Amino acid sequence: MDIYLVGGAVRDKLLGRPVVDRDHVVVGAGPDELLARGFKPVGKDFPVFLHPDTGEEYALARTERKSGRGYHGFLFQADPTITLEQDLARRDLTINAIAEDQQGTLVDPYGGVADLQARVLRHVSNAFVEDPVRLLRVARFAARFAPLGFRVADETMELLRQMVHDGEVNHLVPERVWAETRRALGEAQPSAFLRVLRESHALRVLFPEVDALYGVPQRAEYHPEIDTGIHLEMVLDAAAAIAPGDDLVGFCALTHDLGKALTPTDELPRHIGHELRGVAPLRGLAARLKVPTEHLALAEIVCREHLNAHRALELKPATVLRLLGALDALRRPQRLDAFLAACLADKRGRLDHEHDDYPQADYLRRARDAANAITAAPFVAQGMQGPAIGAAMERARICSIAAAKTAP
């Protein structure tokens, strides 16, 4: 029995990145041998085991054969005769098909090391097209490694287009699309995720609401980048810089401007009312992909209210209190912080505005804290009861927010 470290652990080690998950492949053994050594079986589709001490995954070397459409349409074979090279051949990208033996020697039958050095995302074999999830994985890896200069190989991009043309992408289940998207939104450069999907023609299939933004013009004095799709890419990357790894803020950034695709042509390049128009396509996208409730709830508020956040210093204190109420920010203060991160990303996601200040955020946080400082106790002490207490607290909060506006 031979054991090899494989996949992302080897890749990230070679790139000098932190190794988070260590996966292994076992060659020349069957399930009984691992069970006899105390390994715990997991997984229904193929034999994967957890190490009794480290909890790391150990999978028997296996091959796979396409048996139907979509992600689940595969038959697996795992037995002691399967070689390491056969196991690595079923992997998606060459940079993920490198193994390391227990002495530290690399096994690289498909040129993964060279592709790491050349900063190329390249498929291992033409069997790549059999699993539609791989299209999303390539886009996600592009989002992760774009800051390092990685690009998708031309021949791999052709295969991605073939997968879309052949309808494989139509068989992706919503949960997998959302899982890969959620991870991509937490990567360093999420715009690369959109660009790969768009270049492969998958964006219009999976995210038609987002794809519709490309080519829609905006007023150049506010958006020097003009194209709404380019603005969206810039907002996503700004969000990743402001709130690294936060897919909630990333989803709010992704969906904040969907209404601009619905602006009547005769009103362009202005987008009056786009924040309200965007709610319906946002809800449609979230329902289709089964997006978590909290992601949808906050994204909807960002969609509706991001212009009010930008105008916060001009708003009446009563309007600010209404905004805080919509966010439930007095009971859940962290929601305001996520909201403001998405709004700041919108502010900075414009050409030549990448480092703009955002005093609105400081003011809204002061307003939240000032409003939260108002409690019912003094009004109860005055003998007030029922609705009178709530009305008095609201008046006091409005006054407190007004004072917070001019606070240093």
CA distance 256 to 373: 31
Residue 20: predicted pLDDT:
86
Centre a 10 Å sphere on the Cβ of residue 290 and count the other Cβ atoms it contains.
Answer: 11
pTM listed for this prediction: 0.91
Residue 75: predicted pLDDT:
62
Torsional class of 44: left (φ above 0), alpha (ψ -120 to 50), beta (otherwise): alpha
The residue count of the chain comes to 408
Query: How many whole angstroms from its chain centre is CA 392?
Result: 43
Q: Which of 313, 319, 309 is nearest to 345 (CA)?
A: 309
Residue 29: predicted pLDDT:
86
CA distance 101 to 99: 7
- List the structure tokens of 187: 């990567």
Residue 55: predicted pLDDT:
87
Residue 361: predicted pLDDT:
97
Residue 88: predicted pLDDT:
94
Residue 68: predicted pLDDT:
53
Residue 65: predicted pLDDT:
65
Q: Residues of the chain whose pLDDT is less than 50?
A: 70, 73
DSSP 19: P
In CATH, the number for domain 1-118 is 3.30.460.10
- Chain segment 205-259, per-residue pLDDT in tens: 999 999 999 999 999 999 999 999 999 999 999 999 999 999 999 999 999 999 9
CA distance 30 to 9: 24
What is the residue-wise DSSP string for 305-323? HHHHHHTGGGS-HHHHHHH
Residue 342: predicted pLDDT:
98
Residue 97: predicted pLDDT:
96
